Amino acid sequence: MLGRVTAPPPDATQEGGQRIPQWGFRGWLGKLRARNLRVRAYHRPGTIERCAAPGAGPVARTTSAKMAAASSSDSDSGRAESKEANSKWLDAHYDPVANIHTFSACLVLADLHGDGEHKLVVGDLGPSGQQPRLKVLKGPTVLTESPLPALPAAAATFLMEQHEPQAPALALASGPCVYVYKNLRPYFKFSLPPLPPNPLEQDLWHQAKEDRIDPLTLKEMLEGIREKAEVPLSVQSLRFLQLELSEMEAFVNQHKSKTIKRQTVITTMTTLKKNLSDEDAVSCLVLGCENKELLVLDPEAFTILAKMSLPSVPVFLEASGQFDVEFRLAAACRNGNIYILRRDSKHPKYCIELSAQPVGLVRVHKVLVVGSTEDSLHGFTHKGKKLWTVQMPAAILTMNLLDQRSRGLQAVMAGLANGEVRIYRDKALLNIIRAPDAVTSLCFGRYGREENTLIMTTRGGGLIIKILKRTAVFVEAGGEVGPPPAQATKLNVPRKTRLYVDQTLREREAGTAMHRAFQTDLYLLRLRTARAYVQALESSLSPMSMTAREPLKLHAVVQGLGPIFKLTLHLQNPSTARPALGLLICFLYNEALYALPQAFFKVPLLVPGLNYPLETFVESLSDKGISDIIKVLVLREGQSAPLLSAHINMPVSEGLAAA
């Protein structure tokens, strides 16, 4: 052997071939790098072969192999060191088989025991959504692990009281309940209030209890209620509808005596400060439910302080402000809209309509950053005004906030399907992290005793831990910090001429008269516009019918060079459920200039929502290169006034003009 690898001391643990004595990130990383360099440089024995010449030993071949291995290892280590030197992150830990399957809402970093040692709380979905568990990690190892009754929806830490020592409580939303832990021990269980069941459903199960209907009839009637009723069915009825015919009778006999209960579930959760904005202030829990409601819970008694309604089911929540003073809630819902609610409103005050479904919602200062299924990030104000849009190179899988408090930096992190994690401040790209697998959850904060730690989990269940270097400074991709160079360029302002000075004096002296003249002209313009609009409505000159009983749309397309043109009329019935019958189309034109094969014909039945193209041909008779207007009138049988009309400016016939 040309080198010897010293065995680790007894107090060290082996994980993934790395020595981890304890969770001191930087000391551990320094020892790890030194050990890896020693192993690469010295523990590469050459291939010993027998030489043909007598007296020649294996030393020469071994020495050359050793030198080649040493040179290659030096180049590899040099490239690795240069790559790591250019990176802003230190690779602290990577376990591809950590078996953690979760998303960003179920990752929390918190000091659960109040000893300054922050731990990682994971609401693990389990492989394939089976066997959900609550895991608490200290460093790279799992500290505790406990099963959950249902799949977790969100996790959050909050302070319930101001008593010393201040140790935050852990809230985990799962199914219809919120499980609260203190010091990693169960403390309280809050259940959502039950919802009133469907009265028709109750009556059917009451009849089944008295054996007045058979299971097959019960199934048919429950299916009818599910399709038409506004109140959803209970879980008991939904399970019954999924059974086979052979299993229905036993299910009815088992459950017909039970009371029908309809229970909603929690879809999302966040925290809201109670009355102070301090970091260590008491916070309330805000729950988003499947029944399109938002609930604000008291942190001590766990009673419902406020209840707000939404048009759709919330999936992402962001809160700002204090509950007792003023607050805003932003809820991204399944209908593709984001609703903004304030303290005194039971219903949304503002609505942001997205062109695609949201996949993440993060509040950066006063800007709401939304990720959509169109592979893009959008920035909005709290009143719904769009500020910017950034296109991503791949689909967005997860989003979270990067808050570097030591430098006052807040940015948004987006995990993409191509394995990249992109960090943006507004629409400026700050950094790109490339992971070995697609990242499905992100969490940034203090872990252990390191302030700026990034936790990532991958699609295959891996765990990646990175530490932000203390000397790292995020610079925008352009490399320029501060105002743009164009802001410092002096404008070539022309000198004030005599005409400009005279005009300024005249405006100063006659400002009132000029304003009155402007207002008079403006009112006259509005009056003439209103008169023209009324005249167009009375004479049906608009291409769209304004009557509620006969909603119609008409537009025409002229094709051809002449002397024969193809005229296509597109007629549409925009009503929701009422077809249009008994319509006629009439053409008014100068017979000395144009000829049509049929100037008056009947329109077929117009089905709502469909576009009907009606084609005819127009022949130009003039050889002088002139054109005119053809009027198209849509009439109803028995009425002289048209429903709508259109004026078509016919083009000049190029065929006759050329002849």
**Mind listing the pLDDT tens digit for each residue in 243-268?**
888 888 888 888 877 888 888 889 99
- pLDDT at residue 462 is higher than 50: yes
Q: Are 329 and 282 in contact (CB under 8 A)?
A: no
Q: Are 56 and 70 in contact (CB under 8 A)?
A: no
Percent of the residues in the chain that have a pLDDT greater than 90, as a whole number: 17
Tell me which residue of 642, 640, 645, 644 sits closest to 629, measured CA to CA. Answer: 645
Note the pLDDT of residue 131. Answer: 83
CA 632 to chain centre: 47
Distance CA 121, CA 110 (A): 8
Strand order across the 611-620 sheet = 553-559, 564-572, 611-620, 594-595
Distance CA 576, CA 581 (A): 15
Note the pLDDT of residue 540. Answer: 62
Between CA 256 and CA 188, with CA 196 as vertex, the angle to 5 degrees is 95
Strand partners, 87: none
What count of Cα atoms within 13 Å lies in the side-chain half-sphere of residue 50? 2
Average pLDDT over the chain reads 80
Q: Are 125 and 102 in contact (CB under 8 A)?
A: yes
Alpha helices (H) along 292-336: none
- pLDDT at residue 35 is higher than 70: no
Note the pLDDT of residue 61. Answer: 41
Secondary structure of residue 339 in the 3-state scheme: strand
Note the pLDDT of residue 541. Answer: 61
Gyration radius of the chain's alpha carbons: 37
Backbone phi, then psi, for 351, in 5-degree steps? -135, 130
Distance set, CA 363 to CA 351, 425, 440 (Å): 16, 12, 19
Note the pLDDT of residue 302. Answer: 87
Using CB atoms within 10 A of its CB, is residue 4 exposed (0-12), middle (13-18) or buried (19+)?
A: exposed
Distance CA 299, CA 491 (A): 58
Give per-residue pLDDT as tens, 336-394: 899 998 887 888 888 888 888 999 999 998 899 999 998 899 999 888 888 888 999 99
Amino acid type, 552: L
Distance set, CA 267 to CA 153, 174, 270, 528 (Å): 6, 9, 11, 55
Give per-residue pLDDT as tens, 280-301: 888 999 999 988 889 999 888 8
Distance CA 216, CA 237 (A): 13
- pLDDT at residue 524 is higher than 90: yes
Give per-residue pLDDT as tens, 373-388: 988 999 998 888 888 8
- pLDDT at residue 13 is higher than 90: no
Distance CA 192, CA 176 (A): 6
Note the pLDDT of residue 656. Answer: 53
| 543 band by pLDDT with thresholds 50, 70 and 90 | low
Strand partners, 152: 174
Amino acid type, 292: K
Per-residue pLDDT, averaged over 322-328, amounts to: 88
Tell me which residue of 171, 188, 194, 195 sits closest to 301, measured CA to CA. Answer: 188
Tell me which residue of 586, 578, 584 sits closest to 551, measured CA to CA. Answer: 578
Strand partners, 269: 287
Q: Are 267 and 290 in contact (CB under 8 A)?
A: yes
Distance CA 229, CA 642 (A): 43
Q: Which residue has the higher pLDDT, 606 or 5?
A: 606
Give per-residue pLDDT as tens, 56-79: 443 334 434 444 444 444 445 445
Q: Which residue has the higher pLDDT, 444 or 161?
A: 444
**β-pairing verdict for 409-416 and 463-468:** unpaired
**β-pairing verdict for 13-15 and 107-110:** unpaired
Distance CA 85, CA 624 (A): 81
- pLDDT at residue 123 is higher than 50: yes
- pLDDT at residue 202 is higher than 90: no
End-to-end Cα distance, the chain: 101
* Region of residue 219 (phi > 0: left; psi between -120 and 50: alpha; otherwise: beta): alpha
| 631 band by pLDDT with thresholds 50, 70 and 90 | confident
Beta strands in 67-225 (DSSP E): 89-95, 107-110, 119-124, 133-138, 141-147, 152-158, 169-174, 177-182, 185-191
Distance CA 117, CA 123 (A): 20
Distance CA 249, CA 245 (A): 8
Per-residue pLDDT, averaged over 162-184, amounts to: 85
Q: Which residue has the higher pLDDT, 4 or 404?
A: 404
Distance CA 396, CA 442 (A): 12
Note the pLDDT of residue 485. Answer: 64
Note the pLDDT of residue 287. Answer: 92
Structure-block tokens of residue 256:
């017909």
- pLDDT at residue 519 is higher than 90: yes
| 47 band by pLDDT with thresholds 50, 70 and 90 | very low
